[in-house]
Amino acid sequence: MNDAAQKPAWTWSRIARRIRVPLGFAFAALYLWLAKPTWTSIGVGCLVAAPGVLLRAIAAGHVRKNAELTTTGPYAYTRNPLYLGSIIIALGFGVASESVWVAVAIIVLFLAIYLPVIKSEEVFLRGAFGNFDEYANNVPRLFPRLRAAGGSTATSFSRQLYLKHREYNAVVGSLLMMLALVLKLVWTSAKTRGTI
């Protein structure tokens, strides 16, 4: 068997999967440079982002990655609660930044990076779990339905899964980015007043 047959093709979804985390760090630096926060925008941005952080936390406490198809908890409403949580967090940061360019960059990143990743993960899930197609027919890809599919969210949240998936990093990262916005606002205000 030749090497080409053994290695998967370099598709955009595979590349997107590999670059999404480093790209996120690069975007964070660009974000801080472009952001023009106010106290109000930071406050509203925190209120918008908080449900996203909570959704990611709850979803991480339900998912057993690669071991089973998770269909309970938030997964009974949307197939991708972790990505939905990330989108909500990004919207909160978009509001906090008060920058149109940040909003445009968030939309471009979602369409160019996360949408292909979601689709490629669905290909994996379809091959790994025979009940994925039935699940996909009953639960929307991203924007949640109002009632749980099958009417049950019986499986309870697992603190061990939450810790295993290190979802606390989303909380820490969100708090640090909001703190960075506060520091930028304080610095900019002091500079404008000529106190530094």
Band (pLDDT 50/70/90 cuts) for residue 196 is low
The two three-digit tokens of residue 81, written as one number: 């609660």
Q: Residue 95 domain-assigned?
A: yes
Q: Which of 74, 86, 110, 57 is nearest to 177 (CA)?
A: 86
Q: Catalogue the long-range contacts made by 19-22 (C-beta closer than 8 Å, 24 or more residues apart).
A: 19/113, 20/113, 20/114, 20/117
Name the burial class of residue 23, with classes exposed (0-12), middle (13-18) and buried (19+) by CB atoms within 10 angstroms of its CB: middle
Q: Give how many domains the chain has, as a whole number.
A: 1
Query: What mean pLDDT is predicted for residues 105-122?
Result: 86
Per-residue pLDDT tens over the stretch 25-56: 788 888 888 899 999 999 999 999 999 999 99
Q: Residue 6 domain-assigned?
A: no
pLDDT at 21 over 80: no
Q: Report which listed range, 18-32, 49-63, 158-172, is most confident.
A: 49-63
Q: What is the pLDDT of residue 153?
A: 52
Q: What is the DSSP letter of 140?
A: -
Q: What is the pLDDT of residue 1?
A: 47
Domain holding 57: CATH number?
1.20.120
Q: Residue 1 domain-assigned?
A: no
Q: Residue 196 domain-assigned?
A: no
pLDDT at 169 over 80: yes
pTM for this model (two decimals): 0.83
Per-residue pLDDT tens over the stretch 177-193: 999 999 999 998 888 87
Mean pLDDT of the chain: 86
Q: Residue 125 domain-assigned?
A: yes
Query: What mean pLDDT is predicted for residues 107-123?
Result: 87
Q: Are 72 and 149 in contact (CB under 8 A)?
A: no
Q: Are 97 and 37 in contact (CB under 8 A)?
A: yes
Name the burial class of residue 111, with classes exposed (0-12), middle (13-18) and buried (19+) by CB atoms within 10 angstroms of its CB: exposed
Provide the 3-class DSSP secondary structure of residue 158. coil
Q: Residue 4 domain-assigned?
A: no
Per-residue pLDDT tens over the stretch 120-150: 889 889 988 988 999 999 999 999 988 887 6
Q: Residue 104 domain-assigned?
A: yes
Domain containing residue 77? 13-191
pLDDT at 152 over 70: no
Q: Residue 7 domain-assigned?
A: no
